[in-house]
Every structure is written in C-alpha cells, then in structure tokens.
Amino acid sequence: MDVIQKLSELSEAMAYEPAEEMGVGQAPACPGFAPLEGSPHGLPSTAACVPSKIAGVPIYQAAMPGGKRIALLKTLQTSACEKDCYYCSFRAGRDFRRTTFSPDELARGFMQMVQAGAVSGLFLSSGVAGGGLRTQDRLIATAEILRLKLGFRGYLHLKIMPGAELAQVERAMALADRVSINLEAPNTERLSRLAPHKTFTEQLLAPLQWVESIRRSRPPSLGWNGRWPSCTTQFVVGGAGESDLELLTTTAYLNRAVHLARAYYSGFSPVADTPLEGLPATNPWREHRLYQASFLLRDYGFDLEEMPFQPEGNLPLEVDPKLAWARVNLAEAPVEINQAERQALLRIPGIGPRTAQTILEARRKGRLRHLSELRRLGMQVERAAPFLLLDGHRPAQQLALW
Ligand code: SF4
C-alpha cells in the first residue's frame, strides 16, 4: 500500500478526534431535537467540521490560536493498539485491518502533501503498540525527522501517550506547537468504566501537569520556534455515566492548574463490536452546552458554582448556560452599558470578550444611547437587550422597533 492509501485509511478514523478544525464546539444542526432558545450563533451547520478530500485523504480546515486558518492532516502513527478502551474502534482484538507507518515514511509522506500545497499542518496521534514509551518514541522520531531533517516549519500537534515519561514530554514539547493528553473521563472512577487499563492520575493527569511545570521552569527558547506549545485535552462525553458537573469540575481545575488552552468534549458514539456498542449516542447539544460552559469558565470570569446545573449535575440542553444565569441574576438588575467594568459587560448574553473591549473603547468617545450603536459594535442586541440599561433606561422600546 502506498503512503497516500495508508493516510487515507488512517485519517478516515480521525473524525472521532476533535482537534483544531473549525466548527468544533458550534451548535449542532440536529433535526428532531427541540428548537433552541438562545443559541448564540443560531444553528450553524456542523458541515464546517466535514473535511474536504485530496486523493482520498481527508483534509480539515483548522483555526489556529491566533485566528489563522490552515489545511490540517489528522493521522495516526499506527492504528494497532494493545489497549482495550471500551468505546474505541482501535481497541485490541477488534477485527479490522491495522495500518502502521515508520517515522520516516510518515514524515516524508506528509511533506509530499505539504510540497503539493495540500496541507500545512499535522495532528499526529497513535494507537499504543509496544507500550506507551515506545509509541511516544516513534511519535517523537516522526516529529524530529519533520523538523530537523526535512525542515518543516508549519503547525504540528503531537499527542502524548499514556505512560510517556517526563523527558519524552519535554522532547515532544520542544518539537510541537501544541501537545495534548486525552483524559477521556473526569476522574479515576469514570475512567475505569471507559478504559480499564489506563490510570487516571499517573498516566494521564501527571503528563498534563508536567507540561505546565516544564513551561514554568524551562526557558521557552527550548521550543522549536522559541515558544512552549499550548496544551489541550479531550473527554468522551456520555460513555461513563459522568455528569456535566464532573466534567466541568475537572476542566476548571485544569484551567487553573495547567493553563489548558482548551478542553474538547467528544460526544460518545457507539462503535460496533465494542463493549459499549449498545449504549446510545450522546445528544450533540450536550457537547455544545459543555463547550459554552467551558468558555464561560475560561474566558468570561464565571465560577463553576454559577453554572446552572440541574439536580442530577447536568446543564439544561434547551438554553445556553450564560442566558440561564442572566435570567436569574440580571433580569431584575440590568447592567448599565455606559458604566460597567469589562467583567460585568461579559456577563451580558450577546457580549463576548471582543465586543466588551469594543464597547469600552467606544465609551471613551461618548455615551452610548441606542441599540443601533451597540449592534454596530458587534453586540447581539436581541439577546442582550433584556439585561442592560442604556443611559439609565431599559431599551425595550427601542428593541420593538427592530
Ligand atoms: S489507547 Fe487509544 S487507540 Fe488504544 S484503545 Fe484506547 S483510545 Fe483506542
């Protein structure tokens, strides 16, 4: 089989692993589910996540942390795996054709695609074959060939394997723009229901903590481009009976303790011939609400205690968490747009970090008196109007004119 054929086979399976591709975390278009109140961006199609294909290889449009867009190849070093995670299509013993690249073969195949202008970034993960240490060595070897032999200076996201050692994590960090370690579950007990042969604290949480301690203690000049990489994790949502409260408690801890760039929430989807094949797929709106809540925790100054959890610990599906919070806390105490601090502006539905900044800058030039001005500044005025004051007045009358 040639490199492109192998890439095609392996990359098909990577749709299960969200990375930087655009559309991840957006509201799903899911017919059959109740129409949503207060979906922040309407109902954008998840088509943004659907890759294009070049010679049968899926290519993802990915958004980089600075907003730049690139064409990303997501692939595996090998689809062989000796672990038996209950939800995974690659688990040991499952009957399908496994594909493996040598580091040199993968690096050169990827560079052919770069030179052809098909891609400019790589997300590289792997099944575990021969132990976590050996598997990590092969991922690092591929990255070293790309950076040191073939002169690749584009985006590289490297996966850290369960069981990798501290020195390997540091080496991966020196070569990559982003590293990630998938926790899969929010705690030890939940992980045992998904992946009985992974240990939560030693094999998964510890490497995440190492990433942060390396960033704090070692000079960023050791990174390939003079910076240490960002770090992400992923959870499988709905496969272990876990609640949103458990997932977000762990996310909030990681935000604080390891400065996680982002948590990915991947809704469980049953795979034939796995122990969880009979479990129903997770409602995609649950995934979406988790993303919204995680952004409130990371970027909007919300605390976990402020999330509108239901008694069983899940977020309501039918309303976004910021709107639910505002209905309880701002409906009778609206925020004066002309006086509020940035943190207070961020509490208003329809105002994000960029709009809050634009409002602060516009206020220096004069008082804001009309919804039309706020709309021009980027505010979603229909969502925001019930929770704000303009020059001491509720803008309800103005809204009726829209
Ligand atoms: S270690 Fe990774 S590839 Fe292997 S079964 Fe578990 S989730 Fe799948």
Q: What is the pLDDT along the chain (402 residues), one digit of tens a residue?
A: 688 888 888 766 676 677 777 666 666 654 333 333 333 323 333 434 567 888 788 899 998 877 789 999 999 999 999 999 999 999 999 998 999 999 999 999 999 999 999 999 999 999 999 999 999 999 999 999 999 999 999 999 999 999 999 999 999 999 999 999 999 999 999 999 999 999 999 999 999 999 999 999 999 999 999 999 999 999 999 999 999 999 999 999 999 999 999 999 999 999 999 999 999 999 999 999 999 999 999 999 999 999 999 999 999 999 999 999 999 999 999 999 999 999 999 999 999 999 999 999 999 999 999 999 999 999 999 999 999 999 999 986 555 544
State the closest ligand 1 atom to the C-alpha of 162, by its place in the atom list counted from 1: 1
CB distance 92 to 80 below 8 Å: no
Return the pLDDT at 31.
35
State the Cα–Cα distance between residues 20 and 120, nearest whole angstrom.
13
Which residue's C-alpha comes closest to atom 5 of ligand 1? Answer: 91
How far, in Å, is the centroid of ligand 1 from the Cα of 143?
Answer: 21
Domain ranges of the chain: 3-233, 333-400
State the closest ligand 1 atom to the C-alpha of 81, by its place in the atom list counted from 1: 4
> Ligand 1, residues 17, 74, 83, 234: which to mutate, most atoms within 8 A of Cβ?
83
How far, in Å, is the centroid of ligand 1 from the Cα of 109?
Answer: 24
CATH class of domain segment(s) 3-233: alpha beta
Q: Which residues surround ligand 1 with Cβ inside 6 Å?
A: 81, 83, 85, 88, 90-91, 127-128, 195
How far, in Å, is the centroid of ligand 1 from the Cα of 358?
Answer: 45
Distance of CA 68 to the CA centre of its chain: 16
State the closest ligand 1 atom to the C-alpha of 184, by its place in the atom list counted from 1: 7
State the closest ligand 1 atom to the C-alpha of 127, by its place in the atom list counted from 1: 3
> Ligand 1, residues 84, 90, 139: which to mutate, most atoms within 8 A of Cβ?
90
Query: Residue 41's CB: how many other CB atoms inside 10 A?
Result: 8
CB distance 75 to 14 below 8 Å: yes
How far, in Å, is the centroid of ligand 1 from the Cα of 87?
Answer: 9
Which residue's C-alpha comes closest to atom 3 of ligand 1? Answer: 127
Taking the CA atoms of residue 145, residue 149, residue 154 and residue 156 in that order, the dihedral angle to the nearest 10 degrees is 20
How far, in Å, is the centroid of ligand 1 from the Cα of 46?
Answer: 25
